[in-house]
Amino acid sequence: MTTPAVDIEALNQQIQIESAFVDKIMDSTAQVIVGQEHMVQRLLLGLLAKGHILLEGLPGLAKTLAIKTLSSAVQAGFQRIQFTPDLLPADIVGTMIYNPAKQDFSIRKGPIFSNFILADEINRAPAKVQSALLEAMQERQVTIGNETFSLEEPFLVLATQNPIEQEGTYPLPEAQVDRFMLKVKIEYPTMEHEREIVRRNLSGSIHQKIEPIVSPAEIIRARDMVDRIYMDEKIEQYILDIVFATRSQESAQLQDLQSLVSYGASPRASINLARASKTMAFINRRGFVIPEDVREVCYDVLRHRIGLSYEAEAENITTEDIIRKILNAVDIL
C-alpha cells in the first residue's frame, strides 16, 4: 500500500488545522487540574477514538474533576453515576413507569442518556449492574422495554475503579473490561503539583470553570479526520506482532514469558491499538502514524487485556512488565 507524498503533505496541513483545539483543551484543563496531563490526554484520546476509558486510582486524584472539566470544554452533557452495592440496572438505563391516569406505561430515561458518563467506582457494584453498561458502550444504544434508543454522539463512558485490594470491591469480568479501549492508572501527584493543588484550594481558584472550546459537531468532524490518518502496512504489522506476542510468546522469542501469561489480548486489542495510534498521531498534529505513537498508547490499550498466571502474581510481575518485555523484543520491519 503506497500513498503519494503530496497526499500525505496535504493531509498533514489539514490535520494541523483540524487539531488546533487539542492544545487549547490541554491548556484550559491545566487551569483547573494540576498535573495529571497523562490522564487528561487519554480522556481526549478516548473521546476522539470513539473508545471508553477505565481509570484506576485511589480516591482524591481528580478523576471526577477531569471528566467534568472536559465536558465543559466540549460543551456537552455530563452525568455522574455513583456505583453502589444496592444500585439496580434501571437506575442506569431507565425504566417503564405506569401512569394510572392514562392506564399505560411511559419510559423514563436514565442518566446514561448523555454525552459524558462518569461511572464512579464501578467495581463497587455487582456484576449484574456493571453489565447494564455493556449495550450502551458497545452498541451505543439502550433498550428499555420493547423500545431501543440510540445514544447521542459524542458518547464517552469513563469508569473509575478502586484498586481491587480495597474492601468492598468486585473485580470486573474480563468480557466487560475488554470493552474499554484504555485502562489508565492514576498515580499520586508530585510534591510540587500537590503544593499547587493546596494553594489553589485554599484560595478558592480550584473550582473555576472553563469556557467551551469545541462543539460536539467539531468533535465528530475530528473523528472523521482521525479515520483518514495514514497508517503504513509496516505499522499495521508492528501492531499485529505486538498483540500476537501476548498470545504466542514463542513467535517473539519470549519463551521466558510463557509461564507468566495465562491468556493474551483479543482481536479487539488490535483494533483499539490501531485506532488509538491514529488518534495519538492526530493529537501530535501529524497525518501519519509512526512507531512511537504505537508504543505511547500500548500500555493503556493492553494492560487490562493480558491475563497473568499464578506464578506471575506470586513473583509480583505486572502486565506492564510483560508489555515492556514484548516492546523490547518486537521490532518494526
Would you state the cell numbers that stand for residue 300, as one nine-digit string?
493503556
Helix residue spans in 166-230 (DSSP H)? 174-177, 191-203, 216-228
Residue range 290-308, pLDDT digits in tens = 999 999 999 999 999 998 8
Backbone angles phi, psi at 157, to 5 degrees: -100, 120
Residue 260: per-residue pLDDT:
86
Residue 281: per-residue pLDDT:
94
Coil vs helix vs strand at 107: strand
Tell me: pLDDT of 4 over 70: no
Nearest Cα to 308, choosing from 317, 297, 299, 298?
A: 317
Residue range 194-241, pLDDT digits in tens = 898 888 878 776 656 778 888 888 899 999 999 999 999 999 999 999
Residues 205, 29 contacting (CB under 8 angstroms): no
Name residue 82's beta-bridge partners. Answer: 120
| DSSP code, position 253 | T
What domains, with CATH codes, occur in the chain?
5-87+115-218 (3.40.50.300), 230-329 (1.10.8.80)
Integer Cα distance of 67 and 219 in angstroms: 15
DSSP one-letter string for 50-91: T--EEEE--TTSSHHHHHHHHHHHHT--EEEEE--TT--THH
Residue 3: per-residue pLDDT:
45
Residue range 161-198, pLDDT digits in tens = 876 555 556 677 777 788 899 999 888 888 988 898 88
Residue range 52-110, pLDDT digits in tens = 999 887 777 777 788 888 888 888 888 888 888 888 888 888 888 877 877 788 888 88
Confidence band of 256 (pLDDT split at 50, 70, 90): confident
Beta strand pairing status for 156-161 and 116-120? parallel
Integer Cα distance of 267 and 240 in angstroms: 9
Residue 205: per-residue pLDDT:
63
Name residue 106's beta-bridge partners. Answer: 97
In the predicted model, what is the mean pLDDT of residues 37-66?
A: 86
Residue 1: per-residue pLDDT:
46
Confidence band of 33 (pLDDT split at 50, 70, 90): confident
Integer Cα distance of 156 and 79 in angstroms: 11
